[in-house]
Amino acid sequence: MLYQIYEAQRAITEPFADFAKAASKLFSNPAWMFSDTSLAHRISASYDLLYRLGKDYEKPAFGIETVEVDGVEVVIHERIEMDLPFCELRRFKRFSDNSATLETMLKQPAVLIVAPLSGHYATLLRETVRTMLGGHKIYITDWKNARTVPLEKGDFHLDDYVNNVQTFIRFLQEKHGNCHVMSVCQPTVPVLAAISLMASRGETTPLSMTMMGGPIDARKAPTSVNNLATEHSYEWFENNLIYRVPTGYPGEGRRVYPGFLQYTGFVAMNPDRHASSYYDYFQNLIKGDDDATEYHRKFYDEYNAVLDMDAHYYLETIETVFQKFKLVEGTWEVRNPQGQLELVKPADIKNTALITVEGELDDISGSGQTKAAHTLCTSIGAADREHIDVQGAGHYGIFSGSKWRTIVYPQIRDFILRYQPQPHNSIQQTSQPQPALAKHTPVSSAVDPALAVAIAKTAAPEQAKAFKAGTKPVAATKKANASNNATAKKTAKPIAK
């Protein structure tokens, strides 16, 4: 019933929002003789604010049309490579008429970015994608709004998420020989499970996996998100947060966790910050600060656009990740497409390098939650893992904004290139040989003693043979990036050097 009430309220509000938009334009129209008065500015700003508060926010577009590759502008063509019932695999294909640039792009690593399915659309990672496109072939998981998926398509479970990720990895491996995987926030858990299961079966696993700000071990430094999950029972979530999609949508009748409830939770975490942001927006409208108002619009067009999640997936994620901690307890079994249960064993991963990223001020995934992946993946050699602590960065700061561009990305770029077997482009040139990747050095003091013991027991020399023989070493980056990398090193805490 709550979903129906929300839809009724939205239907009633929409005409008033449209009126407010028209009124705002009327009072700011230069053709009107009083439009340049202080009173007209204030009235126009008030109507504009009412419109922003009452409008319906739809899924935004990525809108990435061009990027620079080694100083040359290339055109981006966004297209769907695979279309599954609950997810599209989206590629950002790059085009150029510069032959040298084409050769450079051909040699660059293929990266699968697994976007969160936790309320927002994949476009939340727009800046992540834009930055990565300068040095990588980029694919991203674009999860669908569950209310748009007809019931005949079936349900969507956490197991299906894991299986979808494996499907996408195999697709990239077939197309490019192999790939690298990056997961941001929520997908760190199912991505680690997907790669673990592939390793247990003896399948080829990705060359590297990057895990950023995710709840690998949600017991560590619990945040308000973690506390909410532990303070209520599974039944409470099912009885209070699950509703059926109302009529008028393709997914009519599907049980979902509605996006508007998730959005309410987002705002409730920092209500003062959002209220202040809207007040500043109103003041900037009156002052005519176009840059500040446009920044606010772009941010909230993204932030306010939310999607519904299938009830099975949402409830299973709550139970598996935040209540029973099945991944770190070693009790998580995933049902494969053939209907068989398989135990998730991260220790089986041997041939995939690992880098984790955490923000000092992350209020969604607390300190240590992502780094816990190193404790689980004990068969990955110490020399083939790193951890980055980003000082002064919140949750969103580790994958967007200046700290992402100048601190996090350069290190991730270099880490990926270290395990890319093809000759590198001009981003990194090397002619000096380096020691083999499997030459493990002692674990640094940043790692727990228990982890050091575990690695010492499991890191056998023969692991070196598992990495591609053609893997090339990493050399120094271009001089233009030296200052950024210097800053990055100050904040990074490698697992081993």
CATH (domain of 112): 3.40.50.1820
**Is 469 found in the same domain as 336?**
yes
Q: Are residues 47 and 119 in the same domain?
A: no
Q: What is the pLDDT of residues 66-97, one digit of tens each?
A: 999 999 999 999 999 999 999 999 999 999 99
3-state secondary structure 47-58: HHHHHHHHCCCC
Tell me if 128 is assigned to some domain: yes
What is the average pLDDT score of the chain?
A: 86
How many domains would you assign to the chain? 2
- What pLDDT does 31 receive? 85
pLDDT digits (tens, 9 = 90+) for 105-120: 999 999 999 999 998 9
Q: Enumerate the H helices of 319-360 as residue ranges.
A: 326-329
Q: Is the pTM of this model over 0.85?
A: no
- Mind giving me the DSSP string for 45-100? HHHHHHHHHHS--PPPP----EEEETTEEEEEEEEEEEEETTEEEEEEEEE-S-HH
Whether pLDDT at 454 is above 90: no
Rounded-to-integer distance, Cα 418 and Cα 424, Å: 10
Pick the closest to residue 108 from 422, 478, 467 (CA basis).
422
Question: Residues 98, 189: one domain?
Answer: yes
Domain that holds residue 277: 2-56+271-304
- On whether both 130 and 166 belong to a single domain, the answer is yes
In a domain, 240, yes or no: no
Do 217 and 123 share a domain, yes or no? yes
Q: Are residues 30 and 159 in the same domain?
A: no
Among 66-80, 158-172, 466-480, which is the least confidently predicted range?
Answer: 466-480
Q: How confident is the model at residue 25 (pLDDT cuts 50, 70, 90)?
A: very high
- Note whether 103 and 161 are same-domain residues: yes
The verdict on 385 and 464 lying in the same domain is yes
CA–CA gap between residue 60 and residue 156 (Å, rounded): 23
409 in any annotated domain: yes
Asked whether residue 285 is assigned to any structural domain, the reply reads: yes
| Residue 479 in domain | yes
Q: Is residue 236 part of a domain?
A: no
111 - beta bridge partners? Answer: 138, 180
Q: Residues 405, 292: one domain?
A: no
pLDDT band for position 447 (50/70/90)? very low
Examine residue 347 and state whether it is found in any structural domain, yes or no. Answer: yes
Please state, for a pLDDT cut of 90, what percent of the chain lies above it. Answer: 71
Residue 256 lies in a domain: no
pLDDT for the residue 423: 57
Contacts by 48-53 with C-beta closer than 8 Å and gap 24+? 48/20, 48/21, 48/24, 48/285, 49/278, 49/281, 49/282, 49/285, 50/16, 50/17, 50/20, 51/17, 51/18, 51/20, 51/21, 51/24, 52/278, 52/281, 52/297, 52/300, 53/278
Rounded to whole angstroms, the Cα distance separating 437 from 488 reads 22
Average of per-residue pLDDT across 211-240: 93
Give the amino acid at 256: V
Per-residue pLDDT tens over the stretch 282-325: 999 999 899 999 999 998 998 899 999 999 999 999 999 999 99
Does residue 404 share a domain with residue 298? no
The mean pLDDT of 324-349, rounded to a whole number, is 97
Is residue 216 over pLDDT 50? Answer: yes
Residue 199 contacts residue 344 (beta carbons within 8 Å): no
pLDDT at 126 over 80: yes
Per-residue pLDDT band at 459 (split at 50, 70, 90): very low
pLDDT digits (tens, 9 = 90+) for 40-63: 999 999 999 999 998 989 999 999
* Among 385, 356, 364, CA closest to 188: 356
165/292 same-domain check: no
Confidence of residue 425 (pLDDT cuts 50, 70, 90): very low
